[in-house]
Copies of this chain bind each other. A is one copy, B any other.
Amino acid sequence: SVGSAVRTGPKAPDFRTASQTTHHVLARAEENARLNDYEQGVKTAFDSIVPTLKRISALQHEPDFESQAQAIARRELGFELPEDILADAWIDQLDMRHLYAGCTFATYHRFCDDFFTTDPLAVEDGEKNFNGGFEGFLQTCGFHTLDISPCADGRLAHLIRYVLRLPHRAVRRKSYAGALFDIENSVQKWVEVEMLRFRAGVPNTADAPTRYLKVVAYHYSSVDPEHGGCAAHGSDTAKAASAGLERLLGFQQAIENSFCCGASIDLLLIGLDTDTDAIRVHVPDGEGAMALDRYVDALELYAATARQDASRARHDIQDAVRQTSPGVAEGMARLIERLIENNFSQIAYVRDYHGDHYADIGHAERFIGAGVGFEEIQLRNLMYFAYLDTVEEAASDLDVGIRIFTELNCRRGLPVPVVVRFDYHGQVPGARERAVTRCRRVTEALQSRYRDLFGRGLLHVLQVVRDCNADAPIEILECTVNAERKAGGH
């Protein structure tokens, strides 16, 4: 039902090389190859942990176990295991829960360091610099800020950089279960952005006729609509979409009612099929109003334009957007066209590297991320993301995440690895100390809320902070893996 994956063009020597022609003239095959290399590299690192630990476990009663185990770990995982865990294996047996959590955190650490050192998802220099790059384009569309709230679901974690092919540093992202972002928090962010325009002319001056654009991305599953959709909305697509639209309108009204002088924001609702990564865009009409049943489906448009030349395909995207909502504002239309064209590359990406749809259409996150930050997480199904200041306010988001990991990990005896992370602005005195305090407070609240799991060794927490102004690597603080081991374990 998602169109046949007909391949055209010259035979490629290897199914996965960059030179292979993709399904669609607008899909960028080289970019896809580069993004796929990166995604596979990161996921392979995480997915090597379980088989490697299994191999090591099988050796635990051999005489030179420790040196054998370390040799395997170095070769397969790229780091050594904590010596004391290996040394204690003879007493009882190898503490696999601690090893698993420790290896997940070590892999995360290496992955982060790589991200902030080599900038693997940087956009091409050409795009970055032409006409002010994406920020410049966004302003010509009438927007000075793009703020996207996807669902916290890990299957949307690649929304910015992969699905929409946007430069991740140019977009604000805050993930919430069911995409139900916090209105008060968003009003504060809006105020901050407008303030900076007034005082500092960043990203443009306050008299420029641009607005703040808030986007909600809900999601659904074309392969298994009854079960593969949004857990926060009982896998009910209509409910996910209408809840997202309602939240958007609430945010807009909050701005309009709290500030005078015609203050307002623009809104956009997007749906994501997490099986094919195709988006649907609810094109706003001339008044900015959206309807749940009025959208452009990128997958249909992809199929319909697959065999055309580039300019004809672009023309058809334009037509589709305008036919959906004839009065749509010119700038909004241009932004949507760009999102759809970008999404074509991602549709081709899934087809090329995964087939009609992903094999892992369900949850397959490797860990939970809780806090503020996580700029490096731009990959699908790597992390369940709960944007939060406190466990108290984000309890339901966290409960969804813990439920997912109870299925994924605890069912087979593996712990839930949680990275608690707070990025801070290093130029503000005391900001690092406050981020550290926040990490500790959230960790304690997690251990208290999920005290049963924690008590059984099935919840492990790594605390991390990062100075996001300094382009710095992450800084590792406490970790329950070490703490418990020091205290003698369970």
A-side residues, CB < 8 A to B, are 183-184, 188, 191-192, 194-196, 198-200, 206, 250, 253-254, 257-261, 263, 389-393, 395, 425, 427-431, 434, 441-442, 445, 448
Query: Do residues B428 and A196 form an inter-chain contact, with CB atoms below 8 A?
Result: no
- A378 → chain B closest CB, angstroms: 26
The one of B183, B199, B263, B425 that contacts A261, using a Cβ cutoff of 8 Å: B199
**Cβ distance A130 to chain B, nearest Cβ, rounded Å:** 28
Query: Closest 7 CB pairs between A and B?
Result: A390-B392, A257-B427, A392-B392, A198-B198, A390-B390, A253-B429, A254-B428
CA distance A466 to B421 in the complex (A): 35
The residue in chain B whose Cβ has the minimal distance to the Cβ of A442 is: B392
Q: Which chain B residue has the least Cβ–Cβ distance from A197?
A: B198
Contact (A430, B250) CB under 8 Å given A390-B393, A445-B392: yes
A448, B445: Cα distance in complex, Å: 11
Contacts A198-B206, A254-B429, A390-B392 aside, 16 further interface pairs with beta carbons under 8 A come to A188-B188, A188-B192, A191-B191, A194-B195, A194-B199, A195-B195, A195-B198, A198-B198, A200-B259, A250-B430, A254-B428, A257-B429, A389-B393, A392-B445, A393-B441, A395-B441
Given the contacts A198-B195, A259-B199, A253 and B428 also touching, CB distance less than 8 Å = yes
Cα of A171 to Cα of B52 in the assembled complex, Å: 63
Interchain CB contact under 8 A, A183 and B430? yes
Min CB distance, A335 to chain B, in Å?
25
Shortest A157–chain B CB gap in Å is 26
How far is B10's CA from A208's CA once the two chains are assembled, in angstroms? Answer: 69
Instruction: List 23 A-B residue pairs with CB atoms under 8 Å apart, sorted by A's residue number.
Output: A183-B428, A183-B430, A188-B192, A191-B191, A194-B199, A195-B259, A198-B198, A200-B259, A200-B261, A250-B429, A253-B429, A254-B428, A254-B429, A254-B430, A254-B431, A257-B427, A258-B425, A258-B427, A389-B390, A389-B393, A391-B392, A392-B392, A392-B442
CB-nearest residue of chain B relative to A262?
Answer: B199
How many of these chains are in the complex? 2
A392 touches B441 (CB 8 A): yes
Q: A22 to B96: give the CA distance in the assembly, Å.
A: 78
Instruction: Give CA–CA (A191, B259) in the complex, Å.
Output: 13
A177 to chain B, nearest CB (A): 15
| B-side contacts of A192, CB under 8 Å | 188, 191
Partner of A199 from the list B254, B260, B428 (CB cut-off 8 Å) is B260
When distances are taken between beta carbons in the complex, the residues of chain B under 8 Å from A263 are 199
Minimal Cβ-Cβ distance residue in B for A260: B200
CA gap between A448 and B448 in the complex, in Å? 10
- Please, how many angstroms separate the alpha-carbon atoms of A257 and B200 in the complex? 13
Complexed CA–CA distance, A429 and B183 (Å):
10
Chain B minimum-CB-distance residue to A200: B260
A425 CB to nearest chain B CB (Å): 7
Separation of A191 and B250 alpha carbons in the complex (Å):
22
For the complex, give the distance between the alpha carbons of A395 and B438 in Å: 12
Q: How far apart are the CA atoms of A261 and B429 in the complex, in Å?
A: 19
Closest to A190 in B: B195
Q: Give which listed residue, B191, B428, B441, B442, contacts A195 with CB less than 8 A.
A: B191
Q: Which residue of B lies closest to A261 (CB)?
A: B199
In the complex, the answer to whether A259 meets B196 with C-beta atoms within 8 Å is: yes
Instruction: Determine the chain B residues whose CB is within 8 A of the CB of A183 once the complex forms.
Output: 428, 430, 434
User: Chain B: which residue is nearest A445 at the CB level?
Assistant: B392
Chain B residues within 8 Å of A430, by CB: 183, 250, 254
Bound together, the chains give a CA A199 to CA B206 distance in angstroms of 10
Cα distance, A429 to B258, chains bound together (Å): 10
Closest approach, in angstroms, between the C-beta of A411 and any C-beta of chain B? 27
Q: Which residues of chain B have C-beta atoms less than 8 A from A184's C-beta?
A: 434
Residues of B within 8 A of A199 (CB): 194, 259-261, 263
CB distance from A190 to the nearest CB of B (A): 9
A390 to B395, CA, bound (A): 12
Residues of B within 8 A of A434 (CB): 183-184
Instruction: For residue A170, give the distance in angstroms from its CB to the closest CB of chain B.
Output: 20
Q: Which of A206, A428, A434 has the most CB of B within 10 A?
A: A428
CB distance from A399 to the nearest CB of B (A): 13
